[in-house]
């Protein structure tokens, strides 16, 4: 095993992380990761992020059950972006879709809801 | 055709954009997009970004020839992240790989170079 790559967390201490579904290869979501979130992701094998709005470490799916089990964590060439390749439990998006990119820039919806967000997020 | 979604460019006037290969579905890269870059992308059909290091609008592939022809621009649920689904000419990464995510967090290289960066970037 080689040494862990030093991630460039930048001025605000966060890097963007893209979550991609290991099976469908769909891009599920983008969120931000702190050093603590990256450590927790590697240690637990489940995706953790840092919520900028709630200002706290966030285990994806902790309340909804829609966990992201990590298959691989990748780092980009500049070491300032992460790619989480995951097995997504349920849908990734809080709107009930499988992923957050369900609209084209023209406002056309290209994905259906797969769960009822009101039943999952209280 | 519906109305174009209003993108939330935030305090610094930029949003992250994930570029995904339309055929392989590989995540190619992440870069940042200004309102002008988004307009240029939509108008020309080729991916434009905003270079934070060079502080300028940037047409991907303008010098390398490794253009990204747009198949679709998607917007996430919060309208603060874009997904460019593209046909990538040549490799996306300045290191000579097809995409920028060629390393695991443990430093293992999982992709070969597909072009000589010294010959492409002068």
Taking the C-alpha atoms of residue A25 and residue A15, their distance in angstroms, rounded to an integer, is 21
Taking the mean position of all CA atoms in its chain, how far away is CA B33?
9
Architecture of domain A15-120: Roll (3.10)
Domain limits, chain B: 15-120
Taking the C-alpha atoms of residue A96 and residue B40, their distance in angstroms, rounded to an integer, is 32
Supply the ipTM of this predicted assembly.
0.95
Closest to A78 (Cα-Cα) out of B52, B45, B49: B52
What percent of chain A clears pLDDT 90, i.e. is strictly above it? 94
Asked if A104's CB is within 8 angstroms of B73's CB, the reply is: yes
Q: Which pLDDT tens digit goes with each residue over B42-67? A: 999 999 999 999 999 999 999 999 99
pTM, to two decimals: 0.96
Taking the C-alpha atoms of residue B48 and residue B11, their distance in angstroms, rounded to an integer, is 20
Q: Which pLDDT tens digit goes with each residue over A34-58? A: 999 999 999 999 999 999 999 999 9
Test the B interface: residue of A42, A71, A76, A91 with most B CBs within 10 Å: A76
How many degrees, rounded to 5, is the angle at CA B18 between CA B15 and CA B22? 145
C-alpha distance from A47 to closest chain B C-alpha (Å): 14
- Closest Cα in chain B to A78: B100
Give me the residue from B75, B100, B101 closest to A105, CB to CB: B75
Closest to B35 (Cα-Cα) out of B5, B67, B68, B60: B5
Taking the C-alpha atoms of residue B23 and residue B85, their distance in angstroms, rounded to an integer, is 9
CA dist list (Å): A36 to A15, A32, A53, A57: 12, 11, 17, 8
């Amino acid at each position: 095993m080689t040494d862990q790559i030093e991630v460039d967390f930048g001025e605000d201490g966060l890097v963007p992380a893209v979550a991609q579904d290991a099976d469908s290869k769909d891009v599920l979501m983008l969120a931000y990761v702190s050093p603590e979130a990256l450590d927790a992701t590697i240690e637990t094998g489940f995706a953790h992020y840092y919520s900028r709005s709630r200002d706290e470490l966030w285990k994806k799916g902790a309340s909804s059950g829609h966990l992201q089990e990590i298959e691989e964590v990748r780092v980009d060439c500049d070491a300032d972006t992460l790619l989480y390749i995951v097995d997504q439990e349920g849908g990734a998006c809080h709107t009930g879709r499988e992923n957050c990119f369900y609209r084209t820039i023209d406002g056309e919806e290209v994905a259906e809801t797969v769960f009822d967000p009101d039943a999952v997020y209280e």
